[in-house]
A and B are shown apart, each in its own frame.
Chain A
Amino acid sequence: MTQAVKKLPRIEINEKFCKGCSICVDFCPTDVLELRGPVVAVKNLEACTRCQLCDLRCPDFAIQVFD
């Protein structure tokens, strides 16, 4: 028996636009994101609930979450 694979969201980060303000990292309810150097990166995609708060509060059009 194969287990149903959980479909993961796709988090698109525009590294050219991200200014590393950390707003998305701080407000993510499930701690999916982290700063790696000057820009944001995904550290735990599995935990993403697609709540979109990172996109909504990013001032820089730098992060979007797709189903």
Chain B
Amino acid sequence: MSTIAEKKEKVSVPFDYNKYLRPNKLPHIWCPGCGHGIVLKALLRAIDRAGLEKDNICMVSGIGCSSRTPGYVDFNTLHTLHGRAMAFATGVKLAKPELKVIVITGDGDALAIGGNHFIHACRRNIDMTVLVMTNSTYGMTGGQYSPTTPLDAIATTSRYGNIEPPFDACEMARASGATFVARGTAYHTIELERTIHDALVHKGTSIVDVIDACPTYFGRANKYKSATHMMELIEKDGTVNVKQAEKLPPEKLEGKVLRGVLHKVERPEYCEQYENLIMQKAAAKK
């Protein structure tokens, strides 16, 4: 059932998604109930809200089911190497700082093989918006455990339960220096649209960790009945908005993951600093 808070929101639909899509590439390849499609829709509405021009956007991804996203959108797009989306995105942004760079990455792509690039993009505070699609599995390669798979969860590589403690992408982003860090879920799709909008208009590295469901692998292996069941248990019941959390007693927050904007600060942006340095040196030479 929908929450009252969701229903009270001003809804920006029916929305003309085709404006931002490559219709001849649809329907997409994602499985029935896969959360990636819900997140893509929230992103397109957020882009529209932010008034961004299609030709001024460059969407960059790595490899994974989530990383298939750029194939469906009518922006400048790059589908690159596993784990390297943020490295390619850094190159794009430095070469063309006028572009709005959006990175789409899976939790495996961003935090396992790409952990290094993730940390250093955050440290530099280079202006890009990064959506980490956290489905707690490697969907594309058949459901291996990922850095966000919960303890004891079943994966094709943890048949008796996962013994590796999971990462929190938001804590890692914050510790690494990202200046905007937030979390959303596919279930809270209007809140997610707003959160992504705020990330898009922020200058600097903005990380949005989006919890979504992989019913095919994580869902089946862990005995969820359906995509809906996963959305209710993991996304709705498993999370609480950070503003609501302030008013709740600690026992009500036990085991809950926080949603909303978790961290926001201003710090010099990498491309601007680079540009300033060049200008200074050029002026000194004259």
Contacts and interface: CB of A to CB of B under 8 A. Distances in A.
Interface of A: 16-17, 19-23, 26-27, 29, 51-53, 55-61, 64-66
A21 to B, nearest CB: 4
Contacts of A27: 1-2, 228
B281 interface: no
Contacts of B226: 21-22, 26
16 contacts: A17-B27, A19-B31, A19-B33, A21-B33, A21-B227, A22-B33, A22-B228, A23-B228, A29-B2, A51-B11, A57-B186, A58-B38, A59-B34, A60-B30, A61-B26, A66-B14
Given A52-B11, A66-B14, A20 B32 contact: yes
Interface residues of B, number: 32
A61 B7 contact: no
B41 A26 contact: no
A35 to B, nearest CB: 11
A65 B228 CA distance: 20
Interface of B: 1-2, 6-7, 11, 13-15, 17, 21, 26-28, 30-38, 41, 186-187, 189-190, 215, 226-228, 231
Contacts of A57: 38, 186-187, 189, 231
Contacts of A21: 32-33, 215, 226-227
Contact of A56 (B11, B32, B227, B228): B11
A61 B7 CA distance: 20
A65 B1 CA distance: 18
Given A21-B33, A27-B1, A52 B14 contact: yes
Given A52-B14, A57-B189, A19 B41 contact: no
B187 A51 contact: no
B41 A56 contact: yes
A16 B14 CA distance: 19
B187 to A, nearest CB: 7
Contacts of A61: 17, 21, 26-27, 37, 41
A56 B185 CA distance: 12
- What 7 pairs across the A-B complex have the smallest Cβ distances? A59-B37, A21-B33, A19-B32, A26-B228, A21-B32, A17-B27, A56-B189
Given A17-B27, A22-B227, A23-B231, A60 B37 contact: yes
A42 to B, nearest CB: 15
